[in-house]
Structure 1
Amino acid sequence: MKKSASLKILGAALGLALGASVAQAGEAAKTYAFDGAFEDATFGIESAIVDKGLVIDYVSHTGDMLNRTAKDVGSSKPIFEKADIFLFCSAVLSRKVMEADPANIAYCPYKVFVTKRDGKVEIGHPVYPEGPMKEVEALLAEIANKAISE
């Protein structure tokens, strides 16, 4: 009985994970040009998130990691000069979208990224599927636009 229940749980988890992968496979990112330095863009994003009363859970220095590990994985191709991803959540919005569909947990925490490639700085965020997650996307766009305008 325990083995059967474990297999059902594993199957449900795999189904959720695969469903999220399929949904995200077609997912694109919305990017915005930033006229300024990478550091100004990251400061703008951090400020815009905090000004919304949200807490940044983690900042992933993805560009540093990719640059640091390129040689280790047999690559010499630069991707980003710099790239950071800001991860955060909104208790109010998360509850709303997960009450609508618990599978929306796959999109949490939310993220906004800042990249620098070929000397150009961009701010961006994921594009979410139609439905409740569009409200999260609107929040991310608002944060990105606030950072650009300041």
Structure 2
Amino acid sequence: MKSTLLKTTLLALSLGLCAPAMAEERDGYVSYTIEADFEDVYFDLQDAIITQGLVVDHIGNVDDMLARTSDTVGGSSPYLHAKYLQFCSATLTHEAVQADPNNLAVCPYVVFAYETSSNPGTVVTGYRIPTLGSSPETVAVFAKVRALMDSIVQEAVGE
């Protein structure tokens, strides 16, 4: 009996350490907040892109850039870690630009992850919401792009 109670208590405590991510949609982007190690979430974000058969075209090291330029511009960085990843889906980009050549403006897609100095251990990850044009074809393809980015970010936070 004591063994079962101990196992149940340990399981409950371990599940509490991995709190589920909380989603938030704001003007122009969606973000998920999770209590986790930044490097783990960042690795999972990259892995989720690759798992979709996509290639990360560019990694933006915002944290490094802000640290490097803080003396020059007289600012300071709120981040312990901050990165973004750019990638594109050839299939969805073809579909988007066939609907409207101006839809090229949405490519590349960007997902991000950061951890602030004021809240270490809390990682925010998300993506910009693709919006451009209002034709039914454009709306349909951007719904697919958004679903792709959301699935990538959700995979990274374990949703």
Query: What's the TM-score, normalizing by structure 2?
Result: 0.72
**1:27–1:126 contact (8 Å) kept in structure 2:** no
Q: Secondary structure at the match of 1:31?
A: strand
Runs of 4+ residues over 3 Å off in structure 1: none
- The residue number in structure 2 matching 1:123 is 125
Q: Give unmatched runs, 5+ long, in structure 2.
A: 1-25
Which residue in 1 is equivalent to 2:62?
Answer: 62
The answer (yes or no) to whether the contact 1:104–1:133 under 8 Å persists in 2 is no
Residue identity over aligned pairs, in percent, reads 34
- 1:128 deviation in Å? 2.2
Give the distance between the partners of 1:137 and 1:81, measured in 2 at CA: 28
Q: Which amino acid aligns with 2:126?
A: G
RMSD between aligned residues = 1.7
Name whichever structure is richer in helix by fraction. 1
Q: Show CA shifts across 1:86-131 (max 9, x none).
A: 1111100110111111111111111110111121211110012261
Could you tell me which residue of structure 2 aligns to residue 147 of structure 1?
Answer: 156
Aligned-partner Cα distance in 2 for 1:137–1:104: 14
Q: 1:27, CA displacement in angstroms?
A: 5.0
CA distance in 2, matches of 1:84, 1:135: 24
How many Å separate the matches in 2 of 1:54 and 1:89?
Answer: 7
Larger Rg over CA atoms: 2
Aligned length: 124
Corresponding residue SS for 1:53: coil
